[in-house]
Structure 1
């Protein structure tokens, strides 16, 4: 009987440990890898003030295109593109955001499991991933691919919507 209780206790503790690890798992692991050789770009975020929030909105509204892997961020407005703070946005869009469908689906699965609100960094990245996914979806002609990307887009949208609901 004591062995059963010990076994049950071990199983319970392992489940608790797995749950705790799952909660701490990074949604955007590439944000913690240095790719450009500077410490200030570890876990980069764009929005650090209200002005940054307004600037990001203006940049996206200007028709900015978040391109696929190996391509650069395209900001059609030259004045906006020349701002020094745009470098952080480029790093996020080029090095942090998932670009492959498999990576985006992994992200949506992780978001589906989360029960706590997103950090503001993860919220920013999720919204930018939503923008990238919608821009990619607009360029796909294959019906099967459109359906899969549409599902990913909807999952990202639902995650953002769920995070915005009051607790």
Structure 2
């Protein structure tokens, strides 16, 4: 590849990549993790088979645990699947785990939902938002403190409403 071709490709691709990453709802999905050489692909579902697998995983009683987002799949056969390993990485490294991170996500989604705002959510953002809803509901159910449950419950409703608004066609 000649230097001019390389320079042209570099000038065209780099700003587009930087712009995509700067506007990401889940910025941690685009950070290079320790021990890895490239950003992870935050998309788990690429086909109907993947959608069915996610439903089966969640139906099996899977939990997204605590502050680190560890995925606990009680079915050993399901847990051994290659796709489940990818889902583990998404849950541990991509999903917001604190109330403030989730509130930031809700604020970004709410801004997107305002009239005359951009296109609907990208597929990977939609998928991560649904997984975030699962994480929040499981977190709220595990909490003992009424104020904490209320705070997580409120942010769950806000996130659901923002997602619903994104899906609603006027």
Q: Identify whether the pair has TM-score above 0.5, normalized to the shorter chain.
A: yes
**Which runs of 5 or more residues in structure 1 are unaligned?**
1-20
Pick aligned residue for 1:138 from 131, 141, 154: 141
Q: Indicate how the Cα distance of structure 1 residues 97 and 47 shifts in structure 2: closer, same or farther if over 3 A, else same.
A: same
Match of 1:90, SS state, is helix
Larger-gyration structure (1/2)? 1
Shift of 1:152: 0.5
For the pair 1:163 / 2:166, whether they are aligned, the reply is yes
- TM-score normalised by structure 2 residue count: 0.79
RMSD: 1.7
Q: Indicate how the Cα distance of structure 1 residues 158 and 71 shifts in structure 2: closer, same or farther if over 3 A, else same.
A: closer
Pick aligned residue for 2:74 from 58, 73, 76: 76
Match of 1:63, SS state, is coil
Alpha-carbon deviations, 1:81-117, whole Å to 9, x = none? 1101111101100000000111011111111111331
**Which runs of 5 or more residues in structure 2 are unaligned?**
1-18, 114-118
For the pair 1:98 / 2:101, whether they are aligned, the reply is no
2:59 matched residue in structure 1: 61
2: CA distance, partners of 1:106 / 1:88: 25
Pick aligned residue for 1:123 from 100, 123, 126: 126
User: Bigger shift: 124-133 or 145-154?
Assistant: 145-154
2: CA distance, partners of 1:96 / 1:102: 15
Q: Indicate how the Cα distance of structure 1 residues 71 and 104 shifts in structure 2: closer, same or farther if over 3 A, else same.
A: closer
